Chain A
Amino acid sequence: MTTKRSPEPFVWLLFSSGGMVTALLVPVLLFLFGVAFPLGLLPAPDHAYLASVVSHPITLLVLFGLCVLALFHWAHRFRYTLYDGLQLKKYSVPITIFCYGGAVVGSIIAAIVLLRAL
């Protein structure tokens, strides 16, 4: 039995906070922008108003946080899906690089997209 401290607590914290934040915010956003506004259940805000909301630094920070945490949640879950579900644990190094690297790349793209709203 090894008792080596593992780096797992840090990725797990990202994973679990990502799961919680995503579960709280994404359904609301999906409902508003995917259902309520297109179907006219709620009066849709106009483009200028939305643009000003999105370019507010706090909105940017919240959206960026959501993207980053959701991506790291995905990375962790997908890594274990490949390890245990597809039994690929022997390729753990490339899988780890692909999953968390993917989350980092995704976070950078999110930052670029969000910054362009400024």
Chain B
Amino acid sequence: MPETITMEVWRYRPEHESEPTWDAYDVPLRKEWAVLDGLNHIKDQLDGTLSYRWSCRMGICGSCGMTVNGEPKLSCSTFLTDYAPGPVRVEPMRNFPVIRDLVVEMGDFMAKLPAVKPWLVSDDEPDEDTEYLQTPVEMDDYKRYSMCINCMLCYSACPVYALDPDFIGPAAIALAQRYNLDSRDAGAEDRRDVLASAEGVWACTFVGECSVVCPKDVDPAGAIQRYKLTAASKAVKDLLLPRGAR
């Protein structure tokens, strides 16, 4: 194994350059080093001006999403040795405005998220002394969608989001389904206006890249297809049945 690997890092410092540029750094190639370790080495030893986000180093916080050799990846879970002999190209996540270097602006997602009410909605005032029990089978219905760490890799991979930024997007829809399918939730009808709109599930053309890149196996594409069927059956019912019978 060679001793070092070249990392080509996308640089954009708005006060210095109007166009992004590339900087190349040689970093030690160690078996246990992820792309994030390479970046930390650059920041500590070679160039302290490099900006990027990270926190947990273990695929939990969702803050270290980047484009590594063209693919959306969590940089803390993507190993340098998989790219040997290099070079490894590290860019910011696609489909988001870049603030600086590898740091992107996620305000769009943050603005959309509350629209799908990602919390348990209950019909009546919850009674503080009542436990809301749930069987393992009921939990299985939504558990997968609850694993999302909001890393935004799915938005970065989604060609529909690239073309139509109004699309609510994979993670937000998967999160809506996480609550819709929860036996304790009564908010499905509230979420329907947003989910069943043209900017909701119907914008999705089932490219499926979101599920391919998702590091937590959330399968947002599956969540969207499942909701399409729900929304379509509701639409047919609305059309055929009188109001009271729905």
Residues of A within 8 A of B159 (CB): 84
> B194 touching A1 by the CB < 8 A rule?
yes
- B231 — which chain A residues lie within 8 A by C-beta? 9
Q: Kindly provide the distance from the CB of B114 to the nearest chain A CB, expressed in whole angstroms.
A: 11
B100 within 8 Å of A (CB atoms): no
B24 at the interface (CB under 8 A from A): no
CB distance from A4 to the nearest CB of B (A): 6
Select the stretch in B82-90, B120-128, B195-203 that faces chain A.
B195-203
Chain A to chain B: the 4 pairs with minimum beta-carbon distance, closest first = A9-B235, A8-B202, A9-B232, A6-B198
Range class of the B interface residue count: 20 to 34
A13 to B229, CA, bound (A): 8
Q: Which residues of B contact A (CB under 8 A)?
A: 112, 115, 159-160, 163, 166, 168, 193-194, 196-199, 202, 205, 228-229, 231-232, 234-236
Chain A, residues 1-31, CB within 8 Å of chain B (1/0): the string is 1111110111011001000000000000000
Is B197's CB under 8 angstroms from A3's CB?
yes
State A9–B192 Cα separation when bound (angstroms): 13
- Selected from B163, B228, B235, B236, the residue in CB contact (under 8 A) with A5 is B235
What are 9 of the A-B contact pairs (CB < 8 Å)? Answer: A1-B112, A1-B197, A1-B199, A5-B235, A6-B196, A6-B197, A9-B231, A10-B235, A12-B228
Total A residues in contact with B, Cβ cutoff 8 Å: 16
Query: From B196, which residue of chain A is reached at the shortest CB distance?
Result: A5
Check B168 against A13 for contact (C-beta < 8 Å): no
Which of A1, A5, A9, A10 is the one whose CB lies under 8 Å from B168?
A1
> Which residues on the B side are within 8 Å of A12 (C-beta)?
202, 228, 232
Contact, CB under 8 Å: B205 / A80: yes
Q: Please report the C-alpha to C-alpha distance between residue A84 and residue B202 in the assembled complex, in whole angstroms.
A: 14
Inter-chain contact B236/A9, CB cutoff 8 Å: yes
Asked if A87 contacts B163 (CB within 8 A), the reply is yes
Q: Is the CB of B232 within 8 A of A3?
A: no
Residue of A nearest to B193 (CB): A3
Residues of B within 8 A of A84 (CB): 159-160, 163, 205
Contacts of A80 in B (CB 8 A): 205
What A residues does B205 contact at CB under 8 A? 80, 84
Tell me if A13 and B236 are in contact (CB < 8 A).
Answer: yes
What residues of chain A lie closer than 8 Å to B196, measured between beta carbons?
5-6, 9
